[in-house]
Structure 1
C-alpha cells in the first residue's frame, strides 16, 4: 500500500513551504523471486509428467507380458488337447486291430 503525506509549513515571514512524502510498504519489488518460483513450478511439473509417463509405460509393458503369458497358456492347452486326441485315436486303432 502506498501513502502520500503532504506537509505545509508557514514561516514567520508568511512564506509557505509544501513537502510531499510518499511512503511505500515494499509491495513494489522486482519480479526476480516471482520468476524463480514460476521456473521451479515448471520444473516440478515437467519432472512429474516424466515420472507419470514412465509409470504408464511400465503398466503397458506389464499388461503386454500378462497377455503374452495367457496366449502361451492357451497354446499349451491346445497342444495338450491335440495330444489327448491323438492318444485317443491311437487307443481306438489299437483296440480295433
Structure 2
C-alpha cells in the first residue's frame, strides 16, 4: 500500500507586511528643507558682514581724508 499522509484540516498563512517607506521619504525631505534653510541663513549673515565691513572701510577712508585735509589746512595757514 502506498504511504499517504493526510493534510491537516487547517492551515496557517503568514503574511508579512512591510512599510511603504513614507517615513524615510519624510525624513529625507525634512533634512533637505533644513539644509536649504541653513544655506540661506549663512548666506544672509555673510552678506550682512560684508556690508558692515564695506561701511567700516568707507568710514576709515573718510576719516583719513579728513585728517589729510586738516594737515593741509594747518600747513597752508602757517606758511602765510
TM-score, normalization: structure 1? 0.67
Aligned to 1:57: 43
RCO higher in structure (CA 8 A, sep ≥6): 1
Bigger-Rg structure (1/2): 1
Query: d(CA) in 2 for partners of 1:67 and 1:30?
Result: 56
Structure with the larger strand share: 1
Distance 1:17 1:72, change over 3 A: closer
Gaps of 5+ in 2: 1-5
Name segments (4+ residues, structure 1) moved above 6 Å.
none
Structure 1 stretches lacking a partner, 5+ long: 1-15
Q: CA RMSD in A?
A: 2.1
Name whichever structure is richer in helix by fraction: 2
Q: Number of residue pairs matched?
A: 75
How high is the TM-score relative to the length of structure 2? 0.80
